[in-house]
Structure 1
Amino acid sequence: MWKFTIRRILIMIPQIILLSVLIFILAKMMPGDALSGMVDPNTSHETLEKIREDLGWNDPWPVQYANWAKDLIQGDLGQSFFYKMPVTELIGQRLINTFWLSLVTLILIYLISIPLGIISGRYNNTWADQLITGYTYIGFATPLFIFGLVMLWIFGYYFGWFPTGGSVEPGMEPGTFSYVLSKLKHLLLPAFSLALIGTVGTVQYLRNEIIDTKQRDFIITARAKGAPESRVYNRHILRNSLLPIAAFFGYEITGLIGGTIFIEMIYSYPGMGQLFMESIVSRDYSVSTALVLLYGIAAILGALISDIVLSIVDPRIRIK
């Protein structure tokens, strides 16, 4: 177990290095730079070139990457030209909102998908199974940004049950009970919107696992020996079907990365996703490259978590 984990961590290191190289190259290939559209139009070309020279933007790419990577190792993500502040501090202000949005969404995904998957798999080919399967088909076919807009219009504007933007009501004092309630109220609708779409894959996977497990030889043998149906289902079918779901925890984290970007833009939720889109529009490349790198590392860590959990569930996949 420990050998497998250490080996996967060692494999992750060159993946992160390659990711950083690709991100840096793609950022340099984008048109313009952070000064484009952010300086006085009357500024002379010579002055702009001197600024670029002082910032090291005219150095060869390998030199620029080496300097950028050295700063990354030291925890320096650069300076935001749009917000006029360190990128590390800027991301830190938004990270907590995205963290709580992702955490609440993950909890909702499992609270919704596991009961629905169990009902659909245990009572397959019934009206309940057909309703749940229909819900998953609609979820697969509905783009997240369309679903988010519909949820925002219905529950935010039409009924007015939830706020339509922001993460907390203005004027709230941090640390108070009313502040926490306001944060939760602003969080629930974006989290539900993301979770209802995110559950469909888990529901279908759990349903198929239960149906497949019910037809295996050891289940038929247990029933032939006269074991009660409740014991067969709870101790054999359900337990064996739920174990693989745990292995998808890391991939759920990876799937939330793209989802939070859309949801935060739709609900004007001040998180990393909204910051990412704003940095692209404003050509704030130091912010956008740092966020893409963090998203990529999160995806790699999600795959690592899934592999470790899956190796615990099924030791046969461990590398010898």
Structure 2
Amino acid sequence: MWKFILRRLIIAIPQLILLSLFVFLLAQAMPGDALTGLIGDPDLPPEVIQEMRVAMGVDNPWYIQYKDWVLNALQGDFGRSFARKVPVTDLIESRVWNTVWLSLFSTILIYLMGIPLGIISGKYHDTIRDRLITGYTYVGFATPLFIFALIMLLVFGFMLRWFPTGGSVTPGLEPGTLEYVLSKINHLILPSFSIALIGITGTVQYLRSEIVDTKQKDFVRLARSKGVSEKRLYNKHIFRNSLMPVAALFGYEITLLISGSIFVEAIYTYPGMGQLFVQSINTRDFSVVTALVLIFGLAYILGGLLSDIIMSLVDPRIRIK
């Protein structure tokens, strides 16, 4: 197992290098440059602007700028936010836990709702229950997340006023108190359900397909012919084997939610990394944009590693020694 983890980590190194190079070149190709956000006075003399460019190093060849950026990033220094005039690391640290909690809360909801629905749909396939569940998944696949989030915000936030319509906590509460924690949870509910009610579609479909397929396998037919009860047959043989692909996607599920919560955070004005990403693009805050894209890419690579490890643990047939 440790050899497998080490091998996957080694494979991840060139992926990270290519990712960092792609992110850097993409930022270089964007209109303007790192100096754009610093120039507040449009009447600055050209010679002053040129001095600022030289001082910041934006006139250096791209490979020198890339080398300096990578060396600083390895030390946790992504530069300063040109729009907010604070270190990028401090800015991301102030947002990262909001996104992490939103992603974890959404993941829990996805599995709490998706697994029972997938089991019911697979166990009673081609019945009215199965048709209702699969009908919802088809609608979920066809509905863009931002449209669904807007509808949820309109109905439960503005019309019914059951949940807050923005922010991550009620202003004025002292961190660490019970009221503060309850307020954080209350602000998480609506955006998390918006993500989860769309996110369960994949889990339900995967699990349903696996259950329907597993029910037709020879070892299930053999167990049924030996008189094994249906309850024991489903619990011990069918469900256990059908859950493996769902468990294997767990790592990808979390990382995709971390990077995919951009629309939801923007719609709910939830102060996480997704909202910061959109704001930084609008203000051409290149240092923040490149740092966030690199973090999202790193999370996806680590999520793939986590999924491979989980799959090798739950399925002895493919376990790598």
Q: Distance in 2 between matches of 1:48 and 1:91?
A: 28
Report the alpha carbon displacement of residue 258 of structure 1 after superposing the two structures with TM. 4.0
Structure 1 moving runs of 4+ over 4 Å: 315-320
Q: Sort the Cα spacing of 1:315 and 1:45 in 2 relative to 1 into closer, same or farther, 3 A.
A: farther
Q: Map 1:167-206 to 2 at 5 A.
A: 167-206=168-207
Match of 1:6 in 2: 6
Instruction: Please show how residues 239-278 of structure 1 align to structure 2 within 5 Å.
Output: 239-278=240-279
Name the counterpart of 1:88: 89
In 2, distance between residues paired with 1:172 and 1:21? 43
Q: Work out whether residues 144 and 259 of structure 1, in 8 Å CA contact, stay in contact via their aligned partners in 2.
A: no
> Which residue type is aligned with residue 19 of structure 1?
L
- Contact 2:106–2:192 under 8 Å retained in 1: yes
Query: What's the counterpart of residue 45 of structure 1?
Result: 46
SS in 2 for 1:96: helix
**Equivalent residues of 1:95, 1:271 under 8 A apart:** yes
Deviations 1:20-67 (A, max 9, x none): 011111111111023326420111111111101100000011111111
Aligned CA RMSD, in angstroms, stands at: 1.3
| CA distance 1:110–1:269, change in 2 (3 Å) | same
Q: CA deviation at 1:254?
A: 3.0
Shift of 1:137: 0.3
User: Following TM superposition, by how much is the alpha carbon of 1:174 offset from its aligned partner in structure 2, in angstroms?
Assistant: 1.1
CA distance in 2, matches of 1:93, 1:129: 44
Q: CA deviation at 1:315?
A: 4.5
CA change 1:311–1:164 in 2 (3 A) is same
How far apart, CA to CA, are the structure 2 residues paired with 1:315 and 1:224? 26
- How many residue pairs get aligned? The number is 320
The CA distance in 2 between the partners of 1:300 and 1:78, in whole Å, is 24
* Rounded Cα–Cα distance in structure 1 between residues aligned with 2:236 and 2:107: 26
Q: Deviation digits for residues 90-122 of structure 1, max 9, x if unmatched? A: 000000110110110010000010000000000
| Residue 71 of structure 2 is aligned to residue 70 of structure 1 | yes
CA distance in 1, matches of 2:156, 2:23: 38
Q: CA deviation at 1:313?
A: 2.8
| 2:141 is the alignment partner of 1:153 | no
Stretches of structure 1 lacking an aligned partner (at least 5 in a row): none
Checking the alignment, whether the CA contact within 8 Å between 1:219 and 1:237 is kept in structure 2 is yes
The 8 Å contact of residues 81 and 87 in structure 2, kept in 1 or not, is answered as: yes
The match for 1:19 is: 19
5+ residue gaps, structure 2, are none
Aligned residue in 2 for 1:32: 32
Residues 68-93 of structure 1: CA distance to partner in whole angstroms, max 9, x if unpaired? Answer: 11101111111111111100000000
Aligned to 2:137: 136
Does the CA-based 8 Å contact 2:312-2:320 persist in structure 1? Answer: no
What is the distance in 1 between the residues matched to 2:258 and 2:272? 12
Deviation at 1:169, TM superposition (A): 1.0
Displacement after TM superposition at 1:228 (Å): 1.2
Partner of 1:162: 163
CA distance in 2, matches of 1:170, 1:224: 64
Give the 3-state SS of the residue equivalent to 1:80 in structure 2. coil
Q: 2-side partners of 1:65 and 1:9: how far apart?
A: 23
Identity of aligned residues (%): 63
Aligned to 1:101: 102
Distance 1:199 1:161 in 2: 23
Match of 1:310 in 2: 311
Q: Does the Cα contact within 8 Å between 2:169 and 2:187 map onto a contact in 1?
A: yes
3-state SS of the aligned residue for 1:196?
A: helix
With the length of structure 1 as denominator, give the TM-score of the two structures: 0.97
Does the 8 Å CA contact 1:265/1:273 hold for their aligned counterparts? yes
> 2 CA distance for matches of 1:13 and 1:159?
50
The alpha-carbon deviation at position 318 of structure 1 amounts to: 5.6
Q: Secondary structure at the match of 1:173?
A: coil
Q: Secondary structure at the match of 2:261?
A: helix
- Would the aligned equivalents of 2:34 and 2:58 in 1 still touch at CA under 8 Å? no
Is the 2:145–2:263 contact (alpha carbons within 8 Å) kept by the matching residues of 1?
yes
Letter of the 1:248 counterpart: L
**1:293-308 equivalence runs, <5 A:** 293-308=294-309
CA contact (8 A) 1:4 1:318 kept: no
| 1:115 lines up with 2:116 in the alignment | yes
Structure 2 SS opposite 1:59: coil
Q: Is the 8 A contact 2:249 2:307 kept in 1?
A: yes
Give the aligned partner of residue 207 of structure 1. 208
1:316 CA displacement? 4.7
